[in-house]
Chains A and B, each alone.
Chain A
């Protein structure tokens, strides 16, 4: 039996009076890629924001490596080994690529190992090294996505949350980003992937959950979901 790194039980989140998440439960095992798919407004980003503490959970629990996260402030979560690549990249546009990457390692103090992580990231994203002194705001959308991923990896996470990494990217970049996600996972980082591009997400994930207006409507092996008639109709446009 695989060991869960993240366990979410009965999580409810409200925006004012509107209930965005209606008691969802899911788990991510160590070493997996788990996809969370669903339409716009289904609650995918809300889920990730409550995991990283940007939104407060009303009820339920979030256990990461056994630590309860619902009461943990967001700035303390990254040092537990959980990093997030936010929707819309949210790189620091007025800072250089290198400064952005260093912000990713904000909680680390091990200088030599940090430098090693930086070199690893440059190896994974050669473009970031080429442009390390350029302002992040001047990068293309795909490059910014790479920077946001590199920035998250700088914290040396065990679990990385990715929010819509393919959004607004050209098909070539989408393929590249998904290849990188698989590579990162092969190197031992567990991935929770939130995507509207269900076909792509299911093709690289081990397991997946389908989120529908704040509840999980389906879950299972990604391969099975990819062949599921209802899923094909609703999310794969067939």
Chain B
């Protein structure tokens, strides 16, 4: 029974990684850049929920909405101010280094406003959860909500990309920006939209992450951000279902190895798996080798 509990907890943590990884992978798919500040958008979202909830005496729903809106704006602004001017720069490293800079900037702004001490985040999900088999199997409310939210997000994203004109434009622009422009697609606006979606998802992930692990500091987003990046690469960077699978695998492996092997070694195991997968299949689980017909 306890194995099942751990598995479900792993699934829940994996869902959070997956939601973050979706942002990484969508932005990479279209802008061909790794937004290393993505993890810090999560932290920003958490602080916004924290502050708004405190101001409204514990009303976290408003906090979540404000966090989603502000994170979306943050993502679009960052893209416009920091990344867009470097698109087409001589070296792709320029934008990567800028992203690392944005990451430090956000962490230090948080440090300036909130200080280094860890804030206790009160869960946005008040539901206790359910128990089965006479209390032997307990599933927390936040665990169930996290899994459900990630499923809803995945379905919504797939519908958006496959059924809407904007979604199709995103797909086209991620394949060939020049050809997309010839179709009349405004590529810059499409990239901005991708950043908006990714950043909104980061805010959602932040709310879920801090509800499950309620300690908030300026570095809260850093490690989950890196792990979500690993999840995106594991699943095949650029692939939306890949990000989902990568996230779930990572979450389950992390929880199970923490439980059964060693809590100190669990991160090493997680990154070890990445190395092995990349050795065997460099494009990731669902990544495709792009073949061009001439």
Contacts and interface: CB of A to CB of B under 8 A. Distances in A.
A157 B186 CA distance: 19
Tell which of B168, B181, B182, B294 has the most Cβ of chain A within 10 Å: B182
B175 A93 contact: yes
B169 interface: yes
Interface string B99-113: 000000000000000
A96 to B, nearest CB: 10
B184 A155 contact: yes
A106 B168 CA distance: 9
B285 interface: no
Nearest to B186: A75
Interface string A121-144: 000000000000000010111001
Interface stretch (A5-13, A27-35, A83-91, A219-227): A83-91
Nearest to A83: B182
Interface in A147-184: 151, 155, 168
A136 to B, nearest CB: 10
B171 interface: yes
Contacts of A86: 178-179, 182
B187 interface: yes
Contacts of B294: 88, 141, 168
Given A92-B175, A93-B175, A78 B168 contact: no
Contacts of B293: 93, 137, 139-141, 144
A104 B183 contact: yes
Interface string A98-128: 0100111011000000000000000000000
B176 A78 contact: no
B62 to A, nearest CB: 37
Interface in B154-181: 165, 168-169, 171-172, 175-176, 178-181
Interface string A37-79: 0000000000000001110000000000000000001111111
A229 interface: no
Nearest to B182: A84
Interface residues of B, number: 22
A84 B180 CA distance: 11
B32 to A, nearest CB: 15
Tell which of B179, B184, B293 has the most Cβ of chain A within 10 Å: B184
B178 A103 contact: no
Contact of B291 (A79, A84, A103, A137): A137
A93 B175 CA distance: 8
A101 to B, nearest CB: 11
Interface string B174-207: 0110111111111100000000000000000000
Interface residues of A, number: 34
B171 A78 contact: no
A75 B181 contact: yes
B291 A52 contact: no
A106 B175 contact: no
Nearest to A155: B184
A78 B184 contact: yes
A24 interface: no
Contacts of B169: 103, 106
A192 B142 CA distance: 62
Contact of B179 (A90, A102, A139): A90
Contacts of A93: 175, 290, 292-293
Contacts of B172: 92, 95, 103
14 contacts: A54-B181, A75-B183, A75-B184, A75-B187, A83-B182, A88-B294, A90-B179, A93-B175, A95-B171, A99-B168, A106-B165, A137-B293, A141-B294, A155-B183
Given A95-B175, A103-B185, 5 more contacts: A75-B187, A83-B182, A106-B184, A139-B293, A144-B293
Closest A-B pairs by Cβ, 6 of them: A107-B184, A78-B184, A90-B179, A74-B181, A106-B183, A75-B186
Interface of B: 165, 168-169, 171-172, 175-176, 178-187, 290-294
